[in-house]
Amino acid sequence: MGCPCDEKELTDKQKYKQLKEFINESKNKKGYLIPVLHMAQVIFGFLPPEVQNFVAKEMNTPVSVVTGVVTFYSYFKIFPTGRHTITICLGTACYVRGAKKIMEELEKKLGIKIGETTEDKRFSMGVQRCLGACGLAPVIMIDKDVHGRISAQKLDKILELYK
Amino acid sequence: MYNLRAHVLLCYGGACISSNAGSVKETMEKAIAKAGLQNEVDVVTTGCMGTCELGPIIVIYPEGVFYQKVKPEDTEEIVQEHLLKGRVVKRLFYKKPKTEEMVEMFNNIDFFKLQRKIALRNCGIINPLEIEEYIAADGYMALGKVLTEMTPQQVIEEIKKSGLRGRGGAGFPTGLKWQFTAASPGKQKYVCCNADEGDPGAFMDRSILEGDPHSVMEAMMICGYAIGADQGYIYVRAEYPLAVERLSIAIEQAKKNELLGKNILGTDFNFDIEIRMGAGAFVCGEETALMRSIEGKRGEPRPKPPYPAQKGLFECPTVLNNVETFANIPFIILNGAGDFASVGTEKSRGTKVFALAGDINNTGLIEVPIGMPLGTIIYDIGGGIPNNKKLKAVQIGGPSGGCIPADHLNVKVDYESLQELGAIMGSGGLIVMDEDTCMVDISRYFMEFIQEESCGKCTPCREGTRIMLNILERICQGKGKMEDLDTLEELSRQIKQTSLCGLGQTAPNPILATLRYFRDEYIEHIRDKKCRAGVCAELVYSPCSNECPASVNVPGYLAYTKEGNFQKALEIHLKNNPFPAVCGRVCPHQCEAKCRRNDLDSAVSIRSVKRFMADSIDGYLKCFPEKQNSNGMKVAVIGSGPSGLSNAYFLTILGYEVTVFESEAKAGGMLTYAIPSYRLPKNIVKKEIQALSLYGVKIKTNTKIGKDITIDELRKQGFKAFYVAVGAGDSIMPPIEGIDGNNRVMSGLDFLYKINNNEKIFVGQEIVVIGGGNTAIDAARTARRMGADVTIVYRRTREEMPAEIEEIKEAENEGIKIQLLQNIKSVKSNSNNKLAVEFVNMRLAEFDKSGRRRPVEIETSSFVKEVSLLILAIGQKPSLDDLFDKELVKLNRDGTICCSSHKGETMSEDIFAGGDVVTGPSTVVEAIGQAQRAAEAIDKYLSGGQEEYPWNIMDAIEVKFDPEEEPVDYERAKNILLPVEKRDSYMEVEKTWDRVTACKEADRCLRCEFKKEEEGI
C-alpha cells in the first residue's frame, strides 16, 4: 500500500481513480472489504457516505454491508479529522501511571473533547485502549509517532512539533 | 567481506524508537565512520531487548557490555572510548534500583539473568529486517526438517509431546488443536495467526512481530504442513504500524528466497501468507470474531460449536494460534519436544512472555519458565516498586483477568494457580499497581473498557456491563449503596453464565477479583465516602488531607501559616487533632508522600510547618472549637494515651462530660513513657495535655480499671459509655532459652519506660537491640546516649525495616551499627557477668503473607558475641488482663480487641475501643483518627448522632490564591538538626524553624483543594 499522503492534495477525481485501481487489483482476493476501506481512509482521510457508496458499487456489495462494517470498527471515521491525530493511550499501564491527567490537560489546552477536532483543523483527539508501548507509560501517539513518558509539562513542546 | 571485530546491537523495538533510537543509530554510524571503523564494527538494529524503560539500549559484542539510556551525543564517546581504546563508558551502565550499584555486562543484570528465552530467542539479537540474519540463527531449519524428515502426523505428535498450550490466554493444548483440524474433512484449510493484541498492558505479540517476524511465519508454514493448509493469514491490529511494516518486509524477503509460495525448499509443499489489518475492535481478538473480520464482515462472534477446527475461516477447517504460541514452534521442532517440556511445570510446559508495566522499576518484556513465583518476577526481574511505595496488587490477564493482592506473591505463575486466585494467565500483561491505585476506580476502568468494546450482539454483555458500569461510577462518586455490592456480584454471575463469547464470559472477572480482595475499599467508598488512594476526585479534598488518618485540613493550616495567621492555622488543626506539637515532632507524615508537589520538585515539609505553628502559640485555649451545649452525660475513657485523650477531647466538643482514667502516675501513655525526650520533650507533651485539661477533659491518674475500680462500679456512678484505649504495652518476647528472669535482658518498652521514669539502669558497654521497628531505634538511640556501643540486629534487610527511614539514618549518624540478616538464637550468662548471645545469619526465602520475603536461618552460621545488655524490641501487644470480664469484649488472636465496625464498636453496646489496643502498635495520628470515629459512634449510641461532625467539615480557606500564578520555585526547606557531637544528652535533636522559614515553606503548597471549592463540590 503506497501512502499517497506525502504528495500534493489530489482532486476528488484522482482520489476515486486511485481507489478504483486498488479495488481492481484485489478483486480476486477473498474478504477484501476491510483492506479496501483502510485504503479508502488513507486516500480520503475519512469515509463519508459518497465513498462508502462508491466502494459498495465497485465491489458489488450492498451499501448496508459496507456501512455496517464501517460503523462497527472504531478505526474507520465518518467525519473529517484534523491534520494531526492525537491518540491518548488509556491502556491499563498508562491509566495507572496517570493517563487521565494527561487527557484532561490536553482537553484543556486544545479546548476540545475526545472525538472532536480543533477549529483550525490542526488536531483531532481520540483515545486508544493500549498502544502496546506500556514500558513507556503514559504514552500518546500523534499521527504515527509514539511519545512516551509524557507529563503535563512536556505537552506544549510536543504539540509544537505538529503544525 | 570484512572481518568484523565488534557488533554494536541497537534495540530498535517500538519503545526504543519512541525514545529516539533513530537518532542514536544515525550519530553512531557517523561516529564509527569518522573513526574509520566502518570495516571493523557493524551496527545491527534488533528487535525489542525487553528493557523498555532503559531505552535506547546498546549492547556491544563480543564482550556483551550493556549501555542504557544512550543519547545521540553519547555515541561519539562510545566509539572513541569503547570501540577505539577499549575502555568502557561507565556512566552509561545499568544501575540497580535502590542500591545504585553499576552493572557492566548484559548477562549479569538480574533482569536478564533469570529469564529463559524461547519465544523471544531472536528478539534483540538479530536484525528483523534481514532474512539472512534469521537464517544464520538456524531460521527455517525447522521448516526444512519437517518438510524433508517428518510426516504431518509426526509434527503433530511432536507438538503434542511438548505440552505447548495456547499463549493467547485460554491455554488450550496446541498439538490437539492441530490434530483436530488435520482430522477435519475438507480440501481447503487455513492457518491464522492472532496478532490482534488488544488486552491493555500486553505488548509481547507486537515485540515478536517487530523483532522476529520470520519465526512466526516459519511456524505458520510448519502448521500448514501438519494440517494440510496452503494459505495463512496474520491478523494484526491497525495500531501496530511498525509490526505491519516489518511483517510485510519479511514476507517479501521470504518470497524472494523461495521460502514462501510454490514448491517450498524443492518439495511439493505450497504456502502463502497474507497480512490482514484489524480496525480497532477489541472483540476481534475472539477467534470467531477474528475470522469474520478476515472475511470482511463485522467482527461479531458466533456461538461454538462448530469450532474453528471444523468450520473456521470461510467455513473451512482452520487453526488459529496466537503469535507467541507460533514463536515457540520452530524451537520445539529443532530442539525436540523433550527439551521444551523440561522447562515449566507439570501441567504448564515451557516459558511465558510477560509484559511488565505500571508501577515497577524495570518495565519491559520478559520471558520466564512457567511456574516462577510472582514475587520473583516483580522484585528480582522487575526491580520492585519505584519511589518507596508499597505494592498493592498485580493485575494479570487484562480485562478478562483479575488482580492478585500483595499477600499472594508466592503464587506460581501458571495457568492453574492463577485461576485459583481469580486471575488468568491471559496474554501475559502484568500490570503492577502501587498504593496510589484505587481498586474501585480500576474496576470502573475495566468495565468502561468492556462496555465500549462489547460488540452489542448479545444482551447480557451489552446491557449487563452497562448497568455494572453505572453502579461502579456511582460508587466512585460516593453515591453508592451497600446493596450495590450484591447487585454487582449477581450481575457478574449472570453475565458470565449467559454471554455468547469469551469477552462477555470473562468481563466481570476484574470486578469479582477486586470484590474478593479489596472489598474494604468498596465499603470505604460507599460508607465513609473515602477513597484511600486519593484517586476518586469527588471523594478527595486534597491528597494530603485524604491521607491523614485524622483528616486534618492541611492546605488550610498551611495557607494561614503562610499569611502569618498562626492562631487561625492552629484553630483549623485543633478541630481534627489536639496534638499538633506532638505530631509536629513524631508524626510519620504520610501526607507528604502524597503531596502533589512531589511531581514538581519535592513535597512540602508539612510536619515541620505544623511544628512551627504549634510551638508559636503558648495557650491553645483560645484556639479550641466552641463546645456544643452540655448534655450532662458522662463518658469514661480508659487510658490517657493519644487515642484516649483525643477521644475525650472530641466528646467534650460534643458537650459530654468526660473523665480519663490512667493507671500510671502521669498522663500521656506512650508519649510520656515510651518516646524518648530527644525526639519528644516532655514539656511539649505536658503543654498539650494541660491544654486539654483546661478545655474540660478530666484526667484521673493512678487509677487502674479492674483493680482500683471496675467498669460496673463506674456504670453505677453514672458513666454511660466507655472508650478503651489502653494501648499495646506488652512486649512480645521470642521463645528462646535464657531470657526469662535474666536481669541483663530487657524488652524495648521496658527499657524506655525506665529511662522515661528516671529509674537507674546498668547498661554496660556493649548493647545489642533486636528488632527493626521504631521502638528498637528509640531504645538504641537512648542507649547510645548513655555512652554504650550499640548494635541493632534485624533479621531481614533494610528495605523491610518498619522504622521510619529518617530515624534509621539518624541512628547510624549517631554511631549505631545495624547488622542485617541476623537473628538471635540463644542467650547464656557467662562468668564475667555478661551475656553470651548466640546469633545466626539469615537469608530471605519465599514471600510471606505480609508481601515480604520470609527470613530463614542459614544453618551452621551461628556465632557468639559478648553483650552487656540485650534489648528485645520485636513486637508489642495489648495487655487487657485485669481490665474487664472476658464476656464484655471479644479479643482477636493477637490479643487486640475485636471491633464490629471501624468506629470501635465492640460486643458490649456501651464499650468502644480504639488506638493500639485495636490496631496493634501504630502511629499517634492513627490513634487520633480512631478516637474521632469512636467519638461519632459513642455520640450516636448516647444521643442518636449528628448529621455532620465538626471535624468532618472542611472550612473554606479565606486566603487569597490565584491558581493561574506559577508556584513558588524554591526547594523544600531542610530540617535543622543538632550536630551529632552534641547529642550526648536528651536534648531535642531537631530544632523548630524560625518564622520566615516556616512561612516560606508553607507557601510552597499547591493548594490542591482549591479547584474543588470553586466548582462547589
B467 lies in the same domain as B407: yes
- β-strands B976-977, B990-991: how paired? antiparallel
Residue B967 and residue B320: Cα distance in Å, rounded? 56
pLDDT of residue B1013: 45
Task: For chain B, give percent helix, strand, coil, nearest 5.
Answer: 40, 15, 40
Is the CA virtual torsion B797, B803, B807, B811 positive or negative?
Answer: negative
Question: Nearest by CB to B295, which of A31, A90, A132?
Answer: A31
Instruction: Give the tens place of pLDDT for each residue, B77-91.
Output: 999 999 999 899 999
Residue A134 and residue A49: Cα distance in Å, rounded? 36
Question: Nearest by CB to A73, which of B200, B279, B295?
Answer: B279
Grid-cell match 456504670, residue found: B715
Instruction: Give the tens place of pLDDT for each residue, B10-46.
Output: 999 888 888 889 999 999 999 999 999 989 999 999 9
A150 touching B (Cβ < 8 Å): no
* Nearest residue in chain B measured CA to CA from A33: B296
pLDDT at residue B885 above 80? Answer: no
For residue B57, the one-letter residue type is I
Mark yes or no for CB contact B314/A31 under 8 Å: yes
Q: How far is B414 from chain A, CA to nearest CA, in Å?
A: 22
Instruction: Give the tens place of pLDDT for each residue, B911-955.
Output: 999 999 999 999 999 999 999 999 999 999 999 999 999 999 998
Element (H, E) at B660: strand B657-661
User: Taking CB atoms and an 8 Å cutoff, what residues of chain B touch A97?
Assistant: 358-359
Name the β-bridge partners of A145: A142
Radius of gyration of chain B (CA): 33
User: Taking CB atoms and an 8 Å cutoff, what residues of chain B touch A33?
Assistant: 296-297
Radius of gyration of chain A (CA): 18
Strands (E), B677-820: 698-700, 719-724, 730-731, 745-747, 766-770, 789-793, 817-819
pLDDT at residue A129 above 90? Answer: no
Backbone phi, psi, residue B173, to 5°: -60, 125
Domain boundary among B56, B78, B113: B113
B891 lies in the same domain as B871: no
pLDDT of residue B1017: 38
Of the candidates B390, B430, B427, which has an alpha carbon nearest to the alpha carbon of residue B406? B390
Mark yes or no for CB contact A93/B363 under 8 Å: yes
Instruction: Give the tens place of pLDDT for each residue, B731-751.
Output: 999 988 888 888 899 999 999
For residue A5, the one-letter residue type is C
Of A4-13, B64-73, B598-607, least confident by mean pLDDT is A4-13
pLDDT of residue B234: 97
Q: What is the mean pLDDT of residues B465-472?
A: 96
**DSSP secondary structure letter of residue B893:** T
Instruction: Give the tens place of pLDDT for each residue, B470-503.
Output: 999 999 999 999 999 999 999 999 999 999 988 9
A139 touching B (Cβ < 8 Å): yes
Mark yes or no for CB contact A134/B206 under 8 Å: no
SS3 B404: strand
pLDDT at residue B883 above 90? Answer: no
B23 touching A (Cβ < 8 Å): no
Residue B361 and residue B53: Cα distance in Å, rounded? 8
Q: What is the ipTM of this complex?
A: 0.88
Question: Nearest by CB to A96, which of B14, B294, B359?
Answer: B359
CB–CB of B613/B566 below 8 Å?
A: yes
User: Taking CB atoms and an 8 Å cutoff, what residues of chain A touch B453?
Assistant: 129
Mark yes or no for CB contact A128/B239 under 8 Å: yes
* B987 within domain boundaries: no
Instruction: Give the tens place of pLDDT for each residue, B601-655.
Output: 899 999 999 999 999 998 899 999 999 999 999 999 999 999 999 999 999 999 9
- pLDDT, mean over chain B: 93
Of the candidates B936, B931, B935, B937, which has an alpha carbon nearest to the alpha carbon of residue B918? B931
Residue B430 and residue B411: Cα distance in Å, rounded? 14
For residue B349, the one-letter residue type is R
B742 lies in the same domain as B643: no
User: Taking CB atoms and an 8 Å cutoff, what residues of chain A touch B314?
Assistant: 30-31
Q: Which residues numbered 174-203 in B keep a CB inside 8 Å of some CB on A?
A: 197-203
Q: Which fold has domain A84-160?
A: Glutaredoxin (3.40.30)
Question: Nearest by CB to A32, which of B199, B296, B599?
Answer: B296
Instruction: Give the tens place of pLDDT for each residue, B514-545.
Output: 999 999 999 999 998 999 999 998 899 999 99
Mark yes or no for CB contact A91/B201 under 8 Å: yes
Of the candidates B883, B820, B311, which has an alpha carbon nearest to the alpha carbon of residue B638? B883
Mutate to test the interface with A, among B12, B68, B123, B203 (most CBs of A within 10 A): B203
B826 lies in the same domain as B738: yes
Mark yes or no for CB contact A96/B197 under 8 Å: no
**DSSP secondary structure letter of residue B975:** P
* Cell numbers linked to A78: 465518518
Is the CA virtual torsion B223, B225, B227, B232 positive or negative?
Answer: positive
Instruction: Give the tens place of pLDDT for each residue, B262-274.
Output: 999 999 999 999 9
Cα A50 from chain centroid? 19
Name the β-bridge partners of B365: B355
B258 lies in the same domain as B311: yes
pLDDT at residue B48 above 70? Answer: yes
B278 touching A (Cβ < 8 Å): yes
Residue B930 and residue B572: Cα distance in Å, rounded? 19
For residue B690, the one-letter residue type is Q
Q: How far is B514 from chain A, CA to nearest CA, in Å?
A: 15
B146 lies in the same domain as B217: yes
Domain boundary among B314, B341, B368: B341
pLDDT of residue B71: 94
Domain boundaries, chain A: 4-72, 84-160
Number of domains in chain B: 5
* Nearest residue in chain B measured CA to CA from A131: B239
SS3 B853: strand
DSSP codes of every residue in B577-637: -S-HHHHHHH---HHHHH-THHHHSS---HHHHHHHHHHT-S--GGGSPPPPPP---EEEE
User: Taking CB atoms and an 8 Å cutoff, what residues of chain A touch B198?
Assistant: 129-130
Residue B300 and residue B500: Cα distance in Å, rounded? 10
Instruction: Give the tens place of pLDDT for each residue, B344-380.
Output: 999 999 999 999 999 999 888 999 999 999 999 999 9
Domain that holds residue B51: 6-113
* B93 within domain boundaries: yes
Residue B885 and residue B3: Cα distance in Å, rounded? 89
DSSP codes of every residue in B163-201: T-B-TTTT--BHHHHHHHHHHS--S--EEEEEE---STT
Which range among A133-137, B340-344, B354-358 has the greatest average pLDDT? B340-344
Of the candidates B234, B235, B231, which has an alpha carbon nearest to the alpha carbon of residue B190? B231
Backbone phi, psi, residue B934, to 5°: -65, -35
Peptide bond before residue B305 is cis, with ω within 30 degrees of 0: yes
Q: How far is B408 from chain A, CA to nearest CA, in Å?
A: 21
Q: What is the CATH number of the domain that holds B358?
A: 3.10.20.600
Instruction: Give the tens place of pLDDT for each residue, B109-130.
Output: 888 999 999 999 999 999 999 9
Of the candidates B531, B545, B398, which has an alpha carbon nearest to the alpha carbon of residue B475? B531
Backbone phi, psi, residue B661, to 5°: -105, 130
Of the candidates B154, B972, B990, which has an alpha carbon nearest to the alpha carbon of residue B587? B990
For residue B898, the one-letter residue type is C
CB–CB of B70/B78 below 8 Å?
A: yes
Instruction: Give the tens place of pLDDT for each residue, B961-1006.
Output: 887 788 899 999 999 999 998 887 889 999 999 999 999 999 999 9
Q: What is the CATH number of the domain that holds B142?
A: 3.40.50.11540
Q: Which residues numbered 311-370 in B keep a CB inside 8 Å of some CB on A?
A: 314, 355-359, 363-365
Q: Which residues numbered 251-270 in B keep a CB inside 8 Å of some CB on A?
A: none
Q: How far is A35 from chain B, CA to nearest CA, in Å?
A: 7
Which range among A103-117, B40-54, B153-167 has the greatest average pLDDT? B153-167
Binding residues of A for [2Fe-2S] cluster: 89, 94, 130, 134
Binding residues of A: 89, 94, 130, 134
Mark yes or no for CB contact B281/A72 under 8 Å: yes
DSSP codes of every residue in B693-704: HHHT-EEE-S--
Mark yes or no for CB contact B357/A135 under 8 Å: yes
Q: At what angle do helices B995-1002 and B554-563 cross, to 10 degrees?
A: 130
Instruction: Give the tens place of pLDDT for each residue, B813-872.
Output: 999 999 999 999 999 988 778 899 999 999 999 888 888 889 999 999 999 999 999 999
* B1017 within domain boundaries: no
Instruction: Give the tens place of pLDDT for each residue, B786-813.
Output: 989 999 999 999 988 999 999 999 999 9
Of the candidates B603, B583, B596, which has an alpha carbon nearest to the alpha carbon of residue B540? B596
Mark yes or no for CB contact A34/B296 under 8 Å: yes
A133 touching B (Cβ < 8 Å): yes
Q: What is the mean pLDDT of residues A114-131?
A: 89
Q: What is the mean pLDDT of residues B899-907?
A: 91
B95 lies in the same domain as B161: no
CB–CB of B397/B374 below 8 Å?
A: no
Residue B90 and residue B74: Cα distance in Å, rounded? 12
In angstroms, the Cα distances linking B833 to B394, B793, B796, B830, B867 are 53, 22, 30, 6, 10
Question: Nearest by CB to A133, which of B18, B274, B314?
Answer: B18
Mark yes or no for CB contact A97/B359 under 8 Å: yes
Mark yes or no for CB contact A148/B15 under 8 Å: yes
pLDDT of residue B709: 93
Residue B996 and residue B863: Cα distance in Å, rounded? 54
Mark yes or no for CB contact B200/A91 under 8 Å: yes
pLDDT at residue B1014 above 80? Answer: no
A47 touching B (Cβ < 8 Å): no
pLDDT of residue B1011: 66
Q: Which residues numbered 549-608 in B keep a CB inside 8 Å of some CB on A?
A: 599
Q: Where are the alpha helices (DSSP H) in B75-173?
A: 75-77, 110-113, 131-136, 141-149, 152-162
A77 touching B (Cβ < 8 Å): no
Q: Which residues of B592-624 are buried (b: 16+ CB within 10 A; e: fewer)?
A: bbbbbbeeeeebbbbbbbbbbbbbbbeebeebb
CB–CB of B573/B557 below 8 Å?
A: yes
Residue B705 and residue B726: Cα distance in Å, rounded? 10
* Nearest residue in chain B measured CA to CA from A136: B53
B248 lies in the same domain as B304: yes
B386 touching A (Cβ < 8 Å): no
Mutate to test the interface with B, among A5, A64, A70, A129 (most CBs of B within 10 A): A129
* B33 within domain boundaries: yes
pLDDT of residue A3: 47
Q: Chain A to chain B, count of Cβ pairs less than 8 Å apart?
A: 153
pLDDT at residue A1 above 70? Answer: no
Name the β-bridge partners of B990: B977
